[in-house]
Chain A
Amino acid sequence: MGRKLGCALIWVAVIVVGVFSFATIALRRGEPINAMWLIAAALCTYAVGYRFYSKFIAAKLLALDDLRATAAERMDNGRDFMPTNKWVVFGHHFAAIAGPGPLVGPVLAAQYGYLPGTLWILVGAVLGGCVQDFVTLAFSIRRDGKSLTEMAREEIGKVGGVVAFLAVMVIMVILLGAVALIVVNALKGSPWGAFTIAMTIPIAVLMGIYLRVLRPGKVLEASIGGFVLVLASILGGQVVAHSSYASMFTFTAPVLAFAIIIYGFTASALPVWMLLAPRDYLSTFVKLGTMAILAIGIIGVRPTLHMPALTRFIDGTGPVFAGKIFPFAFITIACGAISGFHSLIASGTTPKLVQRESQIRMIGYGAMMAESFVAIMAVIAACVLDPGVYFAINSPAGVVGALPAAATNTITSWGFPVTAAQMTSLAQAVGEQTLFNRTGGAPAFAVGMANIFAHSLGGQALMGIWYHFAIMFEALFILTVLDAGTRVGRFMLQDGLGHIWKPLGRTSWYPSIFGTSALMVGLWGYFLWMGVRDPLGGINSMWPLFGIANQLLAIVALCVATTIVIKMGRARFAWITVGPLAWLLAVVFSASYQKVFNPSPRIGFLAHADQLLSSPAPAGKAREIAQLAFNDRLDAVITCILATLVIVVVTESVIEWARVLSGRKSTMSTEAPFVRTQYATEEA
């Protein structure tokens, strides 16, 4: 009784602290607040969400049963299926779901102020993203570790399967184009950054030699060694940037884009595992380490947020990307709140490792909470910057002007004072030639992170090192996403084309490998090129497209989950998945409509194309203008295709739900038959 009361009091205290933190971040106006309020609100939200909501879902919706053997136990083959310690699976799952998305999206959405992004990240994660990952993982485990596409085909129908396949393809192409653009924007005109990233190639080869020849299989040792060498290359980059070799590593955006396209093709088509596998390990090592360091840094420094809770750009006129909070904040921040891509991981490697059903909650729901916390750290990193500096870095030249004086005048006129001298001094402190118009989110995140660390370790003297460490870390794992994504896309294309002509499906046949790699790289490369040539910086059109595609995948996952819930005879709890589904439908439809038909040229693709074609083209620019207008129309067509896919999958699902609920279709279970776990016997 006493223990129960103590427990209840602790939870009341958590709720009170949470409510007070939310009140502080939501109601405080006109004065800066400490980042710890965001951290407190986040931790209390996660604690309450995990303790109460996820427990409710586990008991009522999923009826997780610890007596039931998981796929890992039933199909244990010592290879892909293997019961594994829950913390190990948690770490493995988190490492797979956390990428550049939760860092970039929140930085871009900070143009609205810190409040909208923070609220969406917390509420979206606890009620949407965590739920999606949790139920997808649970349903995949009960279906022998089947993938989302397979479950969509079995539960919704053939059309559902095709839509899921197309959604994955589209999201891959747009994602890869968008993240490649972030790398280009971060490395253009930066000999220090370019040198550091270039050095990861010989470092990875050295790691490969260590792994294969010197100490076979000792990946952790090789990764630690690689990490030390990467740190050395950051220091080396500083020397190179101030030497006569700087020009050798100073690249324009088109040159970098071309280099990344060649890299993507090479990584996909050629057996360069000596380079790629060690780089993959190195990137994961750096990613996990940096996230941990950032968390420690924020909690240790407790920085003040200089960005207001809400900026004037909630009216939709933001320079980073155009559009009002609804729906654009909700598609800009996907990873960190709800990301359809996670459903691929939750129905990929992870379900084959989970030992007991009760652990699904901690792994599925818990790992997404951890990713959401990463997104909160990104909000903090962006909002510790002076707003004027934030906008100077993130605003494209097409909006604020290409010259420093023009850009600072425009930004200052918005009520966010910044001077050219301030930007020059900041650029010098981080070892860059300029920080103006560095769109894409990565440079702003790096400056914010350097700012936080400069207040704790090494002071201002190490700003440049921290900035380039952050740039290296983002570029390194974006390039890993890029080569892994291109290969996965290539395999999907080969699988699909193999149905049309068998040899194309052979993954070891070089004409097919080259052809499908070229097709995949050509698709995302086109988007990258489009972004590089876009006078508005590319992010304005590409990131919303990526957000829409990502949320489309989440819609597919939630449709599959709801269908299974109804077939399980638990329709009264279907609101748990239908709630986030309905929200995403509202977001995706309204974002798609606005991106295509909004009369403002900064928002609507068609309006922008019309504006380009209706004004007289400057001499010699007619072809370029026509190309830009074509790109706008292409973006409009893709958005319409995505919206159509949403309509198709939702209609198909609703028909299936109606059939089952009206009794016209039997609720045939696709679950694997119940097998009693051996672990229960061992425990008894």
Chain B
Amino acid sequence: MTSLYMRVSESAKLIARTLHATLREIFDEAAYERFLKVHGLANSRGSYALYLRESHAARERRPRCC
């Protein structure tokens, strides 16, 4: 019973983690984190403004489907 509970709990945690990671990717939070890592920056207003400037062109050309 305990083992079943643990397995269900682990699976639920995994689903929640994956969902959170998916949302972070869709909403560009993961992309911003990668940007900070690549440039060795800490999160700040300046870093985010820089990220927005750098990713501006790519995001502008991203089509949205019908």
| B18 in contact (CB, < 8 A) | yes
A179 touches B26 (CB 8 A): no
Within 8 A of B (CB), among A278-336: 281, 284-285, 288, 334-335
| B8 in contact (CB, < 8 A) | no
Contacts of B57 in A (CB 8 A): 507
Within 8 A of B (CB), among A480-507: 480-481, 484-485, 487-488, 491, 507
Choose among B31, B45, B58, B66 the residue that contacts A341 (Cβ–Cβ < 8 A): B66
| A242 in contact (CB, < 8 A) | no
CA distance A26 to B65 in the complex (A): 31
| B24 in contact (CB, < 8 A) | yes
Within 8 A of A (CB), among B29-66: 29-35, 37-38, 43-45, 47-49, 51-52, 56-66
B23 touches A220 (CB 8 A): yes
CA distance A213 to B24 in the complex (A): 19
Contacts of B31 in A (CB 8 A): 79
Residue of B at shortest CB range from A95? B26
Choose among A100, A220, A277, A288 the residue that contacts B66 (Cβ–Cβ < 8 A): A100
Contacts of B37 in A (CB 8 A): 78
Residue of A at shortest CB range from B52? A273
| B9 in contact (CB, < 8 A) | no
Residue of B at shortest CB range from A168? B63
Contacts of B62 in A (CB 8 A): 96, 348-349, 484, 488
| B10 in contact (CB, < 8 A) | no
A223 touches B49 (CB 8 A): no
A219 touches B28 (CB 8 A): yes
CA distance A78 to B66 in the complex (A): 29
Minimum CB–CB distance for A214 against chain B, Å: 9
Minimum CB–CB distance for B61 against chain A, Å: 6
Minimum CB–CB distance for B60 against chain A, Å: 5
Contacts of A141 in B (CB 8 A): none
Contacts of A52 in B (CB 8 A): none
Contacts of B47 in A (CB 8 A): 216-217
B65 touches A342 (CB 8 A): yes
Contacts of B32 in A (CB 8 A): 217, 219
CA distance A491 to B49 in the complex (A): 23
CA distance A341 to B60 in the complex (A): 17
Contacts of B24 in A (CB 8 A): 88, 220
A484 touches B48 (CB 8 A): no
CA distance A251 to B56 in the complex (A): 34
Minimum CB–CB distance for B19 against chain A, Å: 8
Q: How many of B's residues come within 8 Å of A, CB to CB?
A: 37
| A29 in contact (CB, < 8 A) | no
Within 8 A of B (CB), among A341-384: 341-342, 344-345, 348-349
A281 touches B27 (CB 8 A): yes
Minimum CB–CB distance for A91 against chain B, Å: 4
Contacts of B11 in A (CB 8 A): none
Within 8 A of B (CB), among A61-116: 78-80, 82, 84-85, 87-92, 95-101
Residue of A at shortest CB range from B45? A216
A223 touches B27 (CB 8 A): yes
Choose among A84, A99, A507 the residue that contacts B64 (Cβ–Cβ < 8 A): A99
B44 touches A284 (CB 8 A): no
Minimum CB–CB distance for A408 against chain B, Å: 33
Within 8 A of B (CB), among A207-258: 211-213, 216-220, 223
B contacts with A: majority SS: helix
Choose among A79, A88, A546 the residue that contacts B18 (Cβ–Cβ < 8 A): A88
Residue of B at shortest CB range from A281? B27
Contacts A79-B38, A216-B45, A219-B28: A345 and B23 contacting too (C-beta < 8 A)? no
| A545 in contact (CB, < 8 A) | no
Choose among B26, B34, B48, B49 the residue that contacts A79 (Cβ–Cβ < 8 A): B34
| A175 in contact (CB, < 8 A) | yes
Choose among B23, B29, B49, B59 the residue that contacts A277 (Cβ–Cβ < 8 A): B59
Contacts A79-B35, A85-B18, A216-B45: A335 and B26 contacting too (C-beta < 8 A)? no
Contacts A79-B35, A335-B66: A491 and B61 contacting too (C-beta < 8 A)? yes
Residue of A at shortest CB range from B31? A79
A273 touches B56 (CB 8 A): yes
Residue of B at shortest CB range from A216? B48
A179 touches B66 (CB 8 A): yes
CA distance A607 to B53 in the complex (A): 52
Choose among B35, B48, B66 the residue that contacts A481 (Cβ–Cβ < 8 A): B66
CA distance A213 to B34 in the complex (A): 20
Most A CB contacts (10 A, CB to CB) among B22, B43, B44, B51 go to B22
CA distance A273 to B62 in the complex (A): 14
Contacts A218-B29, A491-B61: A87 and B22 contacting too (C-beta < 8 A)? yes
| B21 in contact (CB, < 8 A) | yes
Contacts A79-B35, A88-B18, A217-B51: A484 and B25 contacting too (C-beta < 8 A)? no
Contacts of A92 in B (CB 8 A): 22, 25-26
B65 touches A99 (CB 8 A): yes
Minimum CB–CB distance for B59 against chain A, Å: 7
A219 touches B27 (CB 8 A): yes
A484 touches B22 (CB 8 A): no
A101 touches B63 (CB 8 A): no
Contacts of A284 in B (CB 8 A): 26-27
A348 touches B35 (CB 8 A): no
| A339 in contact (CB, < 8 A) | yes
Contacts of B61 in A (CB 8 A): 487-488, 491
CA distance A146 to B62 in the complex (A): 14
| A550 in contact (CB, < 8 A) | yes
- The 6 A-B residue pairs whose C-beta atoms are closest, nearest first, are A91-B22, A216-B48, A101-B66, A219-B27, A484-B64, A217-B32
Interface residues of B (CB under 8 A from A): 18, 21-35, 37-38, 43-45, 47-49, 51-52, 56-66
Given contacts A79-B38, A87-B22, 12 further A-B contacts (CB under 8 A): A85-B18, A88-B25, A88-B30, A91-B22, A99-B65, A100-B66, A101-B65, A217-B48, A219-B29, A273-B52, A488-B61, A550-B66
Q: List 5 A-B contacts (CB under 8 A).
A: A79-B31, A101-B65, A219-B29, A481-B65, A484-B62
Interface residues of A (CB under 8 A from B): 78-80, 82, 84-85, 87-92, 95-101, 175, 179, 211-213, 216-220, 223, 273, 277, 281, 284-285, 288, 334-335, 339, 341-342, 344-345, 348-349, 477, 480-481, 484-485, 487-488, 491, 507, 546, 550
